[in-house]
Structure 1
Amino acid sequence: MLSYLAATLPDGIPAPARLLALQCALRMDDTLHVRLPRGLLRSLRLDAPELWRDLERVHWLRTSPMSTRSVTIGELFDSGLLSQAPARPDRRRAADWALRADLPAKVGKAGGQQRLASVYLAAHTDTWGRGLAEPDRMARACGLQPAEIHCLMHQLTATGALGSWRCCPYTGDLHWAL
């Protein structure tokens, strides 16, 4: 889903709005509607109205006037999401996983870029805690310029969210250990 959103969301969508889009895409029903409890949004620090407006501005979703103080309801306009695997129960589990990957103790207070990057890194890490990715693909998924990836990786290492990382001198690929 991260790759799909990287391809469909335009440049300029900030990382917190991308995290919101990820949760919406993983929690939507088969009619492209999503109901997100405000408590969940507050815990993710995604309850800011400007994040919803960012996604509305690019015609990715529309918030419903039926939203209440306890739940935000949205309608997604990207019908291509329906063709994305996995099925809804698996997407809901993935949404819960992304919630946990987004909020480890060391990244939880970090900004949106670091939080989205932690989800990306966790999604591309094997069972031994090691990962590999092309920097330009990671940059696109995280809404960054490729030149910003090295700085972001240094920040994640400094917070302890990332054990180590390096850039392969031959291929340019990023290698990391959580």
Structure 2
Amino acid sequence: MNRCSNLEVLTVVGCDAAIDLADVIMIERLRSLNVRDSGLNSLDALAERPWTTTLSCYIPRNCITDVTPLTRIPRLQNADLTGNPLSEHSYRKVVPALREQGTRVLISDELEWKLTRHLHEQGVPVSCYKKKDAFALCRPGMKLTEFPDFGHVEIQEKEVESLLHGNPESALRFFPDVLESAPGSAHRSP
């Protein structure tokens, strides 16, 4: 990362859980971190740096449950946490604390947050978020989909409710490539 010392904006899309922010925090001029549609599951490294610059942290549609490390960034300007399976504590306590310290925070509304959290807790790596007026489902990271940042499936509110109260694995039916690769499924030749 020494060669990137003047880097101010870093965007990462579609990475898997092995993302290590330890190298990222060494970039002294970093002002905007954008990790989306990835398997990022920890923000701990961000709290280890004494931030002197303002930072915007856009991490939508990852696997983040704990956002407490963000409270240790004194000049955090923006945080986009939509589509993450935030813990109850992070959603109800930490996010309001971030807002109180002046950070503009985007989070999922209650329904899509509950569904995302429920699916991830049941081992189904699917995230739900609002896309304009519709709900959308995605599978963060390259291990799960060839194109993690687009082609997200739009569903109706009744389907969100059904997934929240039904079998979590039924969320996979919205992703044809999962069904085609499932054991015992018929594969068609072109």
- Larger Rg, first or second structure (1 or 2): 2
TM-score for the superposition, normalised by structure 1: 0.29
More contact order relative to length (CA 8 Å, sep ≥ 6): 1
TM-score for the superposition, normalised by structure 2: 0.28
